[in-house]
Amino acid sequence: MSTFKAPRGTYDLIPPVSATYLAVREAIAAPLRRSGYGYVETPGFENVELFARGVGESTDIVTKEMYTLTTKGGDQLALRPEGTASVLRAALEANLHKAGSLPVKLWYSGSYYRYERPQKGRYRHFSQVGAEAIGAEDPALDAELILLAHDAYRSLGLRNFRILLNSLGDSECRPVYRAALQEFLRGLDLDEDTRSRIEINPLRVLDDKRDAVQKQLTGVPLLRDHLCDACRAYHAEVRELISAQGVTFEDDPKLVRGLDYYTRTTFEFVHDGLGSQSAVGGGGRYDGLSEMIGGPALPSVGWALGVDRTVLALEAEGIALDLPEATSVFAVPLGEEARKILFGVVAELRAAGIATDFAYGGKGLKAAMKAANRSGARYAIVAGERDFAEGVVQLKDMESGEQTPVPLDKVVPTLRTKLA
């Protein structure tokens, strides 16, 4: 055994579990691909300032959870703790907002890093699939993204998730609410850290999960009572569009999410089978983020769904995804000459799109058939010199055990028909 282990709070994805993660990523990406979202990939690290400005100086992510490093050249970099700021930076740098009609619709998938206290469903390295629609202020866009995430979860067979929805207002109505909230919070019995948050970003106090804080929030002013007419009308349309598609949601007036850049629509997908780490994904509108990171005004909306949390949700509902076998055919050569010929047959099968593996390492028949069994293959091809002298291979059905000779030049079409 190696003396090295994965760093604390991280994990390795290895077969067969990794196949489930791939399937989840694919299921989340599929509705996005069908809806005009193009794939984007950004570096695993960025300039620290991008996250300090974009995610927010007062957030736990920036103050406590970001992995930062100084390069030999003196640059201050951070491993990306979330995806939106990076994707928006990439879109601005490539001038995508000038290249054609808005919105620019992008999706991405990758690993993110936060220095958190590790527990089930909360890791220091985690995987997300995200989507961003950049450059348009339209309730239909907010509704589209919520519906696409809903469709992705349903396609995986998940049923016990809920959509929480709120509006965080905008630069017109938020300051009025902020003042009312600060006045209320200053009268509470809170620790030093939380008191300083009241002055920097009081909305974050609403997101505090501790019982001692939540109990004191009874009667707290709610943003929905302070929304301006424009924000109220915008939120009403988002709700109407989602409801019209038969998708249910719950209004959650205390939902704020953990990032400073959200405005107006904010939402979260929660799963009741996951205990305290119940959020499987979420997002919202971030109309001011582009200006925060030095770009033009580009109202935008997006979300990120946790792949790890989604896999836990599948486990909680007892859902086993119907995954294709990694191997459909397993080739077993008997003897050195057969090995060379059968290796060529394997190459032909793979070229025909049939997932095929080979008994490597000069195994005997018994060991090779065990390997064929373990591979999950539906069929095995067994052949020795006598078979090749007759121009055939033996095709074995791994379920029934039935074995039939097949002409060498008919192996590919025969297997294609059987596997279809």
Cα 252 to Cα 163, 221, 274, 325, 409: the distances in Å are 9, 13, 19, 42, 65
Superfamily designation of domain 17-173+227-316: Bira Bifunctional Protein; Domain 2 (3.30.930.10)
For residue 204, what pLDDT is reported? Answer: 78
Cβ(77)–Cβ(45) below 8 Å: yes
SS3 content of the chain, % helix, strand, coil (to 5): 40, 20, 35
Burial 165-187 (b: 16+ CB within 10 A, else e): bbbbbbeebbeebbebbeebbee
Numbered ranges of CATH 3.30.930.10 in the chain = 17-173+227-316
pLDDT above 70 (res 60): no
pLDDT above 90 (res 221): no
Cβ(129)–Cβ(40) below 8 Å: no
Separation CA 105–CA 148 (nearest Å)? 13
Residue 128: exposed, middle, or buried by beta-carbon count in 10 A (0-12, 13-18, 19+)?
buried
For residue 57, what pLDDT is reported? Answer: 61
Numbered ranges of CATH 3.40.50.800 in the chain = 329-419
pLDDT above 60 (res 45): yes
Cβ(91)–Cβ(57) below 8 Å: no
Placement of tokens 């505090």 in the chain: 208
Cα 198 to Cα 175, 181, 195, 206: the distances in Å are 13, 9, 5, 10
Cα 385 to Cα 316, 331, 361, 371, 411: the distances in Å are 52, 14, 18, 21, 17
Quick: pLDDT tens for 339-362. Answer: 999 999 999 999 999 999 999 998
What is the overall mean pLDDT for the chain? 91
Q: How many CB atoms lie within 10 A of CB 76?
A: 12
User: Measuring CA to CA, which residue among 304, 269, 255 is closest to residue 81?
Assistant: 304
pLDDT above 60 (res 58): no
What is the mean pLDDT of the segment spanning 373-385?
A: 94
The encoded tokens of residue 347 equal: 């190459």
pTM, entire model: 0.88
Q: What CATH number is given for 329-419 in this structure? A: 3.40.50.800
